[in-house]
Amino acid sequence: MMLAILRPVWNYRGFVFGSVKREFQTKYRNSLLGAAWNIINPLAMILVYTVIFSQVMRARLPGVENTFGYSIYLCAGVLTWGLFTEITTRSQNMFLDNANLLKKMNFPRLCLPVAVVANGVLNFLIVFGLFSVFLIVSGNFPGLVFSALIPLLALLLVFSTGLGMVLGVLNVFFRDVGHFFGIFITFWFWLTPIVYSPEILPEKVRPLMALNPMGNFMVAVQGVLVRGEWPRWSSLTYLAACAIAMCLLGLHLFRSRVAEMVDEL
């Protein structure tokens, strides 16, 4: 079934690649440094986090003596959350932003979410590649355990894509969805252990973190990059279940409402 759904997208892979290339070029059009900003911006962020938190504020993580421990912790969380945020927030408007394209051209509509995910992954790989170089240069590269990020990020992409599909379809019919999610994701960020360690939370609050599918995911990613620990895979079953549920719901909404969406647009 999945192959039948993805085969038309593969047949239109040139359309997807063209969309990704066009957006990448448009983003830096009329700028003197062009695509170099893709390196300058994340490099500046990494340097600021490193200098401010490790040298100025002397921030430390519980149980981590490494000078750069908190800086790595923060970068790991912010970068992976950035991938999640980019895919979901852009997906909620992907059908609205491409309304004219949907009305005038006949192509697999699933190409649009695929293009959004591809753009997000491309931007993330550039930023995270620089971060990985920083880990190597500073002597904080975790070694073989770094490979655990591949299944972790794959799981994040499935969850982000599924949630983005749901938001994208609903936002066509109920425009309040986009506004609400913009507020909701801000609260979601602060309810996820990205800038703080879950160990500092009161005992009464910690069980509530289990309701957040991104909570244990962040703990796993930061554990890999900060402590060099393999993820506790069983703790990610909730996120995996949410990812599958969102993908199934997103595909159901898309396939059942795709004709109505074009009329609504």
Q: Can you give the pLDDT of all 265 residues of the chain as single tens digits? A: 556 666 777 676 777 787 777 777 676 665 555 556 666 666 676 667 666 665 554 555 666 667 777 888 888 898 999 999 999 999 998 888 877 777 777 767 778 888 899 999 988 998 898 889 889 988 889 999 999 999 999 999 999 999 999 999 998 888 888 888 989 999 999 889 888 888 777 777 777 777 899 999 999 999 999 889 999 999 999 999 999 999 999 888 888 877 777 666 6
pTM of the model: 0.87
Domain boundaries, the chain: 41-264
Which H, E and C letters describe the chain, residue by residue?
A: CHHHHHHHHHHCHHHHHHHHHHHHHHHCCCCCCHHHHHHHHHHHHHHHHHHHHHHHCCCCECCECCCCHHHHHHHHHHHHHHHHHHHHHHHCCHHHHCHHHHHHCCCCCCHHHHHHHHHHHHHHHHHHHHHHHHHHHCCCCCHHHHHHHHHHHHHHHHHHHHHHHHHHHHHHHCCHHHHHHHHHHHHHHHCCCCCCCHHHCCCCCHHHHCCCHHHHHHHHHHHHHHHCCCCCHHHHHHHHHHHHHHHHHHHHHHHHHHHHHHHHC
pLDDT value of residue 31: 59
